[in-house]
Structure 1
Amino acid sequence: MRSLVDRFFLCPSSTETLERRVETLTRSREAAVDHSAAELRRLERDLHDGTQARLVAVSMSLGMAEELFEQDPDAARRTVSEARAATSAAIADLRSVVRGIHPPVLADRGLDGAIRALALDMAVPVEVVGTLAGRPPAPVESAVYFAVAECLANSAKHAAHSQSWVELGHDGAVLRVVVGDDGRGGADVDAGTGMRGVMRRLGAFDGTMSVSSPDGGPTIVTLEVPCRLSDSSSPRTTPSSAPA
Protein backbone atom coordinates (compact mmCIF):
# COMPACT_ATOMS: atom_id res chain seq x y z
CA MET A 1 0.00 0.00 0.00
CA ARG A 2 2.78 2.41 0.92
CA SER A 3 4.53 1.74 -2.38
CA LEU A 4 1.38 2.78 -4.21
CA VAL A 5 1.17 5.99 -2.20
CA ASP A 6 4.88 6.71 -2.81
CA ARG A 7 4.45 6.08 -6.50
CA PHE A 8 1.48 8.46 -6.62
CA PHE A 9 3.51 11.31 -5.11
CA LEU A 10 6.80 10.56 -6.85
CA CYS A 11 5.50 10.00 -10.36
CA PRO A 12 5.28 13.17 -12.46
CA SER A 13 1.81 14.63 -12.75
CA SER A 14 0.10 15.12 -16.08
CA THR A 15 0.96 18.83 -15.88
CA GLU A 16 4.64 18.09 -15.36
CA THR A 17 4.57 15.60 -18.20
CA LEU A 18 3.02 18.17 -20.50
CA GLU A 19 5.54 20.79 -19.42
CA ARG A 20 8.39 18.42 -20.24
CA ARG A 21 6.80 17.64 -23.58
CA VAL A 22 6.47 21.34 -24.41
CA GLU A 23 10.09 21.90 -23.41
CA THR A 24 11.22 19.04 -25.66
CA LEU A 25 9.17 20.32 -28.58
CA THR A 26 10.51 23.84 -28.05
CA ARG A 27 14.09 22.58 -28.17
CA SER A 28 13.47 20.48 -31.28
CA ARG A 29 11.73 23.41 -32.98
CA GLU A 30 14.64 25.74 -32.19
CA ALA A 31 17.08 23.15 -33.52
CA ALA A 32 15.02 22.74 -36.69
CA VAL A 33 14.89 26.52 -37.22
CA ASP A 34 18.65 26.80 -36.69
CA HIS A 35 19.26 23.94 -39.11
CA SER A 36 16.96 25.50 -41.73
CA ALA A 37 18.77 28.83 -41.39
CA ALA A 38 22.14 27.11 -41.82
CA GLU A 39 20.87 25.24 -44.90
CA LEU A 40 19.57 28.51 -46.37
CA ARG A 41 22.97 30.15 -45.84
CA ARG A 42 24.66 27.16 -47.50
CA LEU A 43 22.36 27.37 -50.51
CA GLU A 44 22.93 31.12 -50.82
CA ARG A 45 26.70 30.56 -50.64
CA ASP A 46 26.61 27.77 -53.23
CA LEU A 47 24.53 29.86 -55.62
CA HIS A 48 26.65 32.98 -55.12
CA ASP A 49 30.07 31.36 -55.31
CA GLY A 50 29.20 28.74 -57.94
CA THR A 51 26.31 29.34 -60.30
CA GLN A 52 26.26 33.13 -60.15
CA ALA A 53 30.00 33.40 -60.75
CA ARG A 54 29.77 31.08 -63.77
CA LEU A 55 26.84 33.00 -65.26
CA VAL A 56 28.72 36.30 -64.85
CA ALA A 57 31.65 34.73 -66.70
CA VAL A 58 29.28 33.60 -69.48
CA SER A 59 27.88 37.10 -69.84
CA MET A 60 31.38 38.62 -70.06
CA SER A 61 32.50 36.00 -72.61
CA LEU A 62 29.48 36.65 -74.82
CA GLY A 63 30.12 40.39 -74.62
CA MET A 64 33.72 39.86 -75.74
CA ALA A 65 32.57 37.56 -78.54
CA GLU A 66 30.13 40.17 -79.78
CA GLU A 67 32.97 42.70 -80.06
CA LEU A 68 35.23 40.20 -81.85
CA PHE A 69 32.81 38.92 -84.49
CA GLU A 70 33.70 41.54 -87.11
CA GLN A 71 37.44 41.84 -86.37
CA ASP A 72 38.36 38.22 -85.52
CA PRO A 73 35.59 35.67 -86.19
CA ASP A 74 37.77 32.72 -85.17
CA ALA A 75 38.52 34.26 -81.77
CA ALA A 76 34.82 35.07 -81.38
CA ARG A 77 33.88 31.44 -82.06
CA ARG A 78 36.42 30.25 -79.49
CA THR A 79 34.99 32.66 -76.94
CA VAL A 80 31.46 31.44 -77.64
CA SER A 81 32.64 27.84 -77.14
CA GLU A 82 34.13 28.81 -73.79
CA ALA A 83 30.85 30.49 -72.83
CA ARG A 84 28.94 27.35 -73.79
CA ALA A 85 31.21 25.21 -71.58
CA ALA A 86 30.70 27.64 -68.69
CA THR A 87 26.93 27.42 -69.23
CA SER A 88 27.06 23.62 -68.96
CA ALA A 89 29.04 23.94 -65.74
CA ALA A 90 26.46 26.41 -64.35
CA ILE A 91 23.64 23.97 -65.18
CA ALA A 92 25.55 21.20 -63.37
CA ASP A 93 25.92 23.49 -60.35
CA LEU A 94 22.20 24.20 -60.32
CA ARG A 95 21.36 20.51 -60.54
CA SER A 96 23.69 19.84 -57.63
CA VAL A 97 21.94 22.51 -55.56
CA VAL A 98 18.52 21.06 -56.44
CA ARG A 99 19.66 17.57 -55.43
CA GLY A 100 20.81 19.00 -52.11
CA ILE A 101 17.32 20.38 -51.46
CA HIS A 102 15.28 17.32 -52.45
CA PRO A 103 16.86 14.65 -54.66
CA PRO A 104 14.66 13.79 -57.68
CA VAL A 105 15.25 10.07 -57.07
CA LEU A 106 13.64 10.46 -53.66
CA ALA A 107 10.53 12.06 -55.11
CA ASP A 108 10.29 9.47 -57.89
CA ARG A 109 11.19 6.23 -56.13
CA GLY A 110 10.54 6.86 -52.47
CA LEU A 111 12.86 6.33 -49.53
CA ASP A 112 13.41 2.64 -50.25
CA GLY A 113 14.43 3.18 -53.88
CA ALA A 114 16.43 6.33 -53.13
CA ILE A 115 18.54 4.59 -50.48
CA ARG A 116 19.19 1.69 -52.88
CA ALA A 117 20.28 4.18 -55.56
CA LEU A 118 22.50 5.91 -53.01
CA ALA A 119 24.09 2.57 -52.08
CA LEU A 120 25.01 1.91 -55.73
CA ASP A 121 27.00 5.16 -55.86
CA MET A 122 29.20 4.30 -52.88
CA ALA A 123 32.78 3.17 -53.53
CA VAL A 124 32.56 0.46 -50.83
CA PRO A 125 29.78 -2.15 -51.21
CA VAL A 126 26.56 -1.34 -49.36
CA GLU A 127 23.93 -4.04 -48.79
CA VAL A 128 20.36 -2.80 -48.40
CA VAL A 129 17.95 -5.23 -46.72
CA GLY A 130 14.28 -4.91 -45.86
CA THR A 131 11.53 -3.05 -47.65
CA LEU A 132 8.89 -0.47 -46.84
CA ALA A 133 5.25 -1.23 -47.62
CA GLY A 134 4.49 2.45 -48.22
CA ARG A 135 5.98 5.92 -48.09
CA PRO A 136 6.56 8.12 -45.05
CA PRO A 137 5.47 11.77 -45.18
CA ALA A 138 7.70 13.74 -47.57
CA PRO A 139 9.52 15.74 -44.85
CA VAL A 140 10.32 12.51 -42.98
CA GLU A 141 11.51 10.86 -46.19
CA SER A 142 13.87 13.74 -46.83
CA ALA A 143 15.22 13.83 -43.26
CA VAL A 144 15.86 10.08 -43.14
CA TYR A 145 17.39 10.01 -46.62
CA PHE A 146 19.91 12.71 -45.78
CA ALA A 147 20.58 11.02 -42.43
CA VAL A 148 21.46 7.76 -44.20
CA ALA A 149 23.57 9.66 -46.75
CA GLU A 150 25.50 11.32 -43.90
CA CYS A 151 26.09 7.98 -42.17
CA LEU A 152 27.38 6.34 -45.35
CA ALA A 153 29.58 9.34 -46.12
CA ASN A 154 31.06 9.16 -42.63
CA SER A 155 31.82 5.47 -43.13
CA ALA A 156 33.53 6.21 -46.42
CA LYS A 157 35.65 8.97 -44.87
CA HIS A 158 36.59 7.54 -41.49
CA ALA A 159 35.73 3.87 -40.99
CA ALA A 160 38.37 2.11 -43.14
CA HIS A 161 35.70 -0.52 -43.74
CA SER A 162 35.14 -3.23 -46.35
CA GLN A 163 31.34 -3.24 -46.28
CA SER A 164 28.35 -1.23 -45.10
CA TRP A 165 24.71 -2.18 -44.75
CA VAL A 166 21.34 -0.48 -44.38
CA GLU A 167 18.31 -2.18 -42.82
CA LEU A 168 14.85 -0.76 -43.48
CA GLY A 169 11.76 -1.51 -41.45
CA HIS A 170 8.45 -0.16 -40.18
CA ASP A 171 6.41 -1.71 -37.38
CA GLY A 172 3.20 0.15 -38.13
CA ALA A 173 4.05 3.13 -35.97
CA VAL A 174 7.81 3.76 -36.19
CA LEU A 175 10.12 3.92 -39.19
CA ARG A 176 13.43 2.27 -38.26
CA VAL A 177 16.60 2.45 -40.34
CA VAL A 178 19.88 0.89 -39.21
CA VAL A 179 23.13 1.89 -40.91
CA GLY A 180 26.24 -0.11 -40.10
CA ASP A 181 29.78 -0.79 -41.25
CA ASP A 182 32.52 -3.29 -40.38
CA GLY A 183 35.18 -0.61 -39.92
CA ARG A 184 37.43 0.31 -37.02
CA GLY A 185 34.71 1.87 -34.86
CA GLY A 186 35.31 4.68 -32.41
CA ALA A 187 32.77 7.01 -34.05
CA ASP A 188 32.05 10.05 -31.88
CA VAL A 189 28.81 11.93 -32.45
CA ASP A 190 30.25 15.05 -30.82
CA ALA A 191 33.39 15.06 -32.98
CA GLY A 192 31.74 16.72 -35.98
CA THR A 193 28.70 18.70 -37.06
CA GLY A 194 27.32 16.15 -39.52
CA MET A 195 25.85 13.68 -37.03
CA ARG A 196 24.59 16.46 -34.80
CA GLY A 197 22.80 17.82 -37.86
CA VAL A 198 21.23 14.38 -38.34
CA MET A 199 19.97 14.44 -34.76
CA ARG A 200 18.46 17.89 -35.28
CA ARG A 201 16.74 16.81 -38.49
CA LEU A 202 15.17 13.78 -36.86
CA GLY A 203 14.37 15.61 -33.63
CA ALA A 204 12.04 17.91 -35.55
CA PHE A 205 9.82 14.84 -36.11
CA ASP A 206 10.25 13.34 -32.63
CA GLY A 207 12.85 11.04 -34.15
CA THR A 208 15.93 9.67 -32.41
CA MET A 209 19.41 8.52 -33.35
CA SER A 210 21.53 6.11 -31.34
CA VAL A 211 25.14 5.15 -32.11
CA SER A 212 27.07 2.05 -31.08
CA SER A 213 30.70 2.21 -32.17
CA PRO A 214 33.17 0.38 -29.93
CA ASP A 215 36.87 0.46 -30.82
CA GLY A 216 37.43 -2.19 -33.44
CA GLY A 217 33.86 -1.88 -34.71
CA PRO A 218 31.32 -2.42 -35.92
CA THR A 219 29.64 0.96 -36.03
CA ILE A 220 25.85 0.78 -35.92
CA VAL A 221 23.63 3.86 -36.20
CA THR A 222 19.92 3.39 -35.48
CA LEU A 223 17.46 5.99 -36.75
CA GLU A 224 13.86 5.91 -35.55
CA VAL A 225 11.03 8.26 -36.50
CA PRO A 226 7.38 7.79 -35.50
CA CYS A 227 5.22 8.04 -38.61
CA ARG A 228 2.66 6.22 -40.72
CA LEU A 229 3.24 5.01 -44.26
CA SER A 230 1.02 5.97 -47.16
CA ASP A 231 0.22 3.92 -50.25
CA SER A 232 3.29 3.78 -52.50
CA SER A 233 1.49 2.49 -55.60
CA SER A 234 1.42 5.99 -57.15
CA PRO A 235 4.92 7.51 -57.00
CA ARG A 236 5.13 11.22 -56.46
CA THR A 237 7.07 13.06 -59.13
CA THR A 238 8.55 16.51 -59.43
CA PRO A 239 9.37 18.67 -62.46
CA SER A 240 13.05 18.49 -61.52
CA SER A 241 13.04 14.76 -62.22
CA ALA A 242 12.11 15.17 -65.86
CA PRO A 243 14.88 14.54 -68.38
CA ALA A 244 16.77 17.57 -69.53
Structure 2
Amino acid sequence: LIALLLQLRGAQRGSLDATVVVESAVEELAAAVRELRELAQGIHPSALTERGLAAALRIVAARAPLDVELDVTDAPLDTNITVAAYYIVSEALNNVAKYAGASRAAVRVRETGAHLVVVVEDDGRGGADLDGGTGLRGLQDRVSALDGRLDVHSPAGAGTRLRAELPLA
Protein backbone atom coordinates (compact mmCIF):
# COMPACT_ATOMS: atom_id res chain seq x y z
CA LEU A 1 0.00 0.00 0.00
CA ILE A 2 2.91 2.34 0.66
CA ALA A 3 4.28 1.75 -2.84
CA LEU A 4 0.82 2.46 -4.20
CA LEU A 5 0.66 5.72 -2.25
CA LEU A 6 4.08 6.83 -3.55
CA GLN A 7 3.13 6.04 -7.15
CA LEU A 8 -0.11 7.97 -6.87
CA ARG A 9 1.67 10.96 -5.34
CA GLY A 10 4.14 10.90 -8.23
CA ALA A 11 1.28 10.98 -10.71
CA GLN A 12 -0.40 13.75 -8.72
CA ARG A 13 2.75 15.90 -8.96
CA GLY A 14 2.99 15.20 -12.67
CA SER A 15 6.38 13.50 -12.43
CA LEU A 16 4.93 10.14 -13.57
CA ASP A 17 2.62 9.16 -16.44
CA ALA A 18 -0.83 8.98 -14.84
CA THR A 19 -2.13 6.21 -17.13
CA VAL A 20 0.81 3.94 -16.32
CA VAL A 21 0.51 4.72 -12.61
CA VAL A 22 -3.23 3.99 -12.54
CA GLU A 23 -2.73 0.64 -14.31
CA SER A 24 -0.01 -0.31 -11.84
CA ALA A 25 -2.06 0.98 -8.90
CA VAL A 26 -5.04 -1.18 -9.87
CA GLU A 27 -2.82 -4.29 -9.95
CA GLU A 28 -1.18 -3.47 -6.62
CA LEU A 29 -4.47 -2.65 -4.95
CA ALA A 30 -6.01 -5.94 -6.15
CA ALA A 31 -3.02 -7.82 -4.71
CA ALA A 32 -3.35 -5.95 -1.40
CA VAL A 33 -7.06 -6.78 -1.18
CA ARG A 34 -6.26 -10.48 -1.78
CA GLU A 35 -3.63 -10.39 0.97
CA LEU A 36 -6.03 -8.69 3.40
CA ARG A 37 -8.71 -11.30 2.70
CA GLU A 38 -6.23 -14.09 3.37
CA LEU A 39 -5.17 -12.41 6.60
CA ALA A 40 -8.76 -11.80 7.70
CA GLN A 41 -9.66 -15.45 7.20
CA GLY A 42 -7.30 -16.32 10.03
CA ILE A 43 -8.78 -13.81 12.48
CA HIS A 44 -11.82 -14.81 14.52
CA PRO A 45 -14.34 -12.14 15.50
CA SER A 46 -14.46 -11.48 19.23
CA ALA A 47 -18.21 -12.22 19.39
CA LEU A 48 -17.52 -15.72 18.09
CA THR A 49 -14.83 -16.51 20.63
CA GLU A 50 -16.51 -14.76 23.57
CA ARG A 51 -20.22 -15.49 23.03
CA GLY A 52 -20.46 -18.39 20.60
CA LEU A 53 -21.76 -19.12 17.13
CA ALA A 54 -25.41 -18.11 17.58
CA ALA A 55 -24.51 -14.69 19.01
CA ALA A 56 -21.89 -14.03 16.33
CA LEU A 57 -24.31 -14.96 13.55
CA ARG A 58 -26.98 -12.68 15.03
CA ILE A 59 -24.50 -9.83 14.58
CA VAL A 60 -23.73 -10.88 10.99
CA ALA A 61 -27.46 -11.09 10.22
CA ALA A 62 -28.16 -7.69 11.77
CA ARG A 63 -25.49 -6.09 9.56
CA ALA A 64 -26.83 -7.65 6.37
CA PRO A 65 -28.69 -5.26 4.06
CA LEU A 66 -31.67 -7.64 3.82
CA ASP A 67 -33.97 -9.56 6.15
CA VAL A 68 -32.25 -12.65 7.55
CA GLU A 69 -34.09 -15.37 9.44
CA LEU A 70 -31.81 -17.31 11.81
CA ASP A 71 -32.19 -20.78 13.28
CA VAL A 72 -28.85 -21.60 14.90
CA THR A 73 -27.91 -24.27 17.42
CA ASP A 74 -26.51 -23.14 20.75
CA ALA A 75 -24.79 -26.49 21.33
CA PRO A 76 -21.09 -26.35 22.18
CA LEU A 77 -19.03 -27.28 19.13
CA ASP A 78 -15.39 -27.87 18.25
CA THR A 79 -13.61 -24.57 17.58
CA ASN A 80 -12.69 -25.49 13.99
CA ILE A 81 -16.29 -26.41 13.21
CA THR A 82 -17.60 -23.23 14.86
CA VAL A 83 -15.20 -21.02 12.91
CA ALA A 84 -15.99 -22.79 9.64
CA ALA A 85 -19.75 -22.44 10.19
CA TYR A 86 -19.31 -18.74 10.97
CA TYR A 87 -17.33 -18.07 7.79
CA ILE A 88 -19.69 -20.15 5.65
CA VAL A 89 -22.68 -18.09 6.78
CA SER A 90 -20.79 -14.80 6.63
CA GLU A 91 -19.49 -15.38 3.09
CA ALA A 92 -22.81 -16.75 1.88
CA LEU A 93 -24.68 -13.69 3.18
CA ASN A 94 -22.03 -11.45 1.61
CA ASN A 95 -22.67 -13.15 -1.72
CA VAL A 96 -26.43 -12.79 -1.29
CA ALA A 97 -26.05 -9.06 -0.61
CA LYS A 98 -23.63 -8.46 -3.50
CA TYR A 99 -24.99 -10.64 -6.28
CA ALA A 100 -28.39 -12.18 -5.62
CA GLY A 101 -30.70 -9.17 -5.64
CA ALA A 102 -32.53 -10.90 -2.80
CA SER A 103 -34.92 -9.35 -0.29
CA ARG A 104 -34.53 -12.08 2.30
CA ALA A 105 -32.34 -14.98 3.36
CA ALA A 106 -32.74 -17.84 5.80
CA VAL A 107 -29.88 -19.40 7.77
CA ARG A 108 -30.12 -22.73 9.56
CA VAL A 109 -27.27 -24.28 11.53
CA ARG A 110 -28.20 -27.62 13.11
CA GLU A 111 -26.58 -30.78 14.38
CA THR A 112 -27.87 -33.83 12.54
CA GLY A 113 -26.24 -36.98 13.81
CA ALA A 114 -22.55 -36.88 13.03
CA HIS A 115 -22.63 -33.56 11.14
CA LEU A 116 -23.23 -29.89 11.61
CA VAL A 117 -25.41 -28.83 8.70
CA VAL A 118 -25.30 -25.20 7.58
CA VAL A 119 -27.94 -24.03 5.10
CA VAL A 120 -28.23 -20.53 3.64
CA GLU A 121 -31.12 -19.86 1.26
CA ASP A 122 -32.20 -16.67 -0.49
CA ASP A 123 -35.00 -15.48 -2.75
CA GLY A 124 -32.66 -13.84 -5.25
CA ARG A 125 -31.93 -14.33 -8.92
CA GLY A 126 -29.94 -17.57 -8.61
CA GLY A 127 -27.16 -18.50 -10.99
CA ALA A 128 -24.44 -18.93 -8.34
CA ASP A 129 -21.65 -21.30 -9.38
CA LEU A 130 -18.99 -22.96 -7.22
CA ASP A 131 -16.50 -22.46 -10.06
CA GLY A 132 -17.49 -18.87 -10.74
CA GLY A 133 -15.89 -16.78 -8.02
CA THR A 134 -13.33 -16.75 -5.26
CA GLY A 135 -15.87 -16.54 -2.44
CA LEU A 136 -17.61 -19.84 -3.13
CA ARG A 137 -14.32 -21.52 -4.04
CA GLY A 138 -12.91 -20.34 -0.72
CA LEU A 139 -15.90 -21.85 1.07
CA GLN A 140 -15.40 -25.10 -0.83
CA ASP A 141 -11.74 -25.16 0.27
CA ARG A 142 -12.65 -24.43 3.91
CA VAL A 143 -15.29 -27.17 3.98
CA SER A 144 -13.04 -29.69 2.21
CA ALA A 145 -10.23 -29.02 4.69
CA LEU A 146 -12.57 -30.35 7.40
CA ASP A 147 -13.58 -33.38 5.29
CA GLY A 148 -16.97 -31.80 4.79
CA ARG A 149 -19.22 -31.34 1.81
CA LEU A 150 -20.58 -28.20 0.14
CA ASP A 151 -23.49 -28.17 -2.30
CA VAL A 152 -24.92 -25.17 -4.10
CA HIS A 153 -28.30 -25.34 -5.84
CA SER A 154 -28.92 -22.12 -7.72
CA PRO A 155 -31.17 -22.31 -10.78
CA ALA A 156 -31.42 -19.03 -12.68
CA GLY A 157 -34.33 -16.95 -11.44
CA ALA A 158 -35.10 -19.17 -8.47
CA GLY A 159 -32.80 -18.19 -5.62
CA THR A 160 -29.84 -20.05 -4.17
CA ARG A 161 -29.53 -22.79 -1.57
CA LEU A 162 -26.08 -23.40 -0.12
CA ARG A 163 -25.71 -26.47 2.10
CA ALA A 164 -22.56 -27.45 3.98
CA GLU A 165 -22.10 -30.62 6.02
CA LEU A 166 -19.25 -30.53 8.53
CA PRO A 167 -18.30 -33.74 10.37
CA LEU A 168 -18.51 -33.38 14.14
CA ALA A 169 -16.12 -36.22 14.98
Q: Same fold (TM over 0.5)?
A: yes
Which ranges of structure 2 fall in alignment gaps of 5 or more residues?
6-38
1:127 aligns with 69
> Contact 2:57–2:86 (CA<8 Å) still a contact in 1?
yes
Q: Distance in 2 between matches of 1:148 and 1:98?
A: 15
Q: Distance in 1 between matches of 2:159 and 2:122?
A: 6
> Contact 2:53–2:74 (CA<8 Å) still a contact in 1?
no
Q: Distance in 2 between matches of 1:176 and 1:191?
A: 23
Q: Distance in 2 between matches of 1:136 and 1:206?
A: 16
User: What is the CA-CA distance between 1:172 and the residue it aligns to?
Assistant: 3.2
User: What is the CA-CA distance between 1:141 and the residue it aligns to?
Assistant: 1.1
Q: Distance in 1 between matches of 2:162 and 2:41?
A: 24
Q: Distance in 1 between matches of 2:48 and 2:74?
A: 16
Matched, 1:115 2:51: no
The equivalent position to 1:175 in structure 2, one of 94, 100, 116, is 116
Q: Distance in 2 between matches of 1:109 and 1:170?
A: 19
Q: Percent identity?
A: 41
1:104 aligns with 46
- CA deviations 1:156-201 (Å, max 9, x no partner) are 0100111011012102311001001000111111111111111111
User: Where in structure 2 are the equivalents of 1:13-162 lying within 5 Å?
Assistant: 49=1, 101-129=43-71, 131-162=72-103
Q: Distance in 2 between matches of 1:222 and 1:153?
A: 15
1:163 aligns with 104
The equivalent position to 1:188 in structure 2, one of 106, 115, 129, is 129
Q: Distance in 1 between matches of 2:108 and 2:135?
A: 21
Which ranges of structure 1 fall in alignment gaps of 5 or more residues?
1-48, 54-96, 229-244
Q: Structure 1 residues 213 and 98 mapped into 2: Cα distance closer, same or farther (>3 Å)?
A: closer
- CA deviations 1:80-108 (Å, max 9, x no partner) are xxxxxxxxxxxxxxxxx779611101001
Question: Structure 2: which amino acid aligns with 1:105?
Answer: A
Q: Which has more helix, going by share of residues?
A: 1
Q: Distance in 1 between matches of 2:56 and 2:144?
A: 22
Q: Calculate the aligned-residue CA RMSD, in Å.
A: 2.0
Tell me which structure has the larger Cα radius of gyration.
1
TM-score with structure 1 length normalisation?
0.51
Q: Which has more strand, going by share of residues?
A: 2
Question: Structure 2: which amino acid aligns with 1:139?
Answer: N
- CA deviations 1:33-72 (Å, max 9, x no partner) are xxxxxxxxxxxxxxxx48xx9xxxxxxxxxxxxxxxxxxx
Larger relative contact order (C-alpha < 8 A, sep ≥ 6)? Answer: 1
Q: Distance in 2 between matches of 1:132 and 1:152?
A: 18
- CA deviations 1:191-233 (Å, max 9, x no partner) are 11111111111111111110000011220000110105xxxxx
Q: Distance in 1 between matches of 2:140 and 2:153?
A: 15
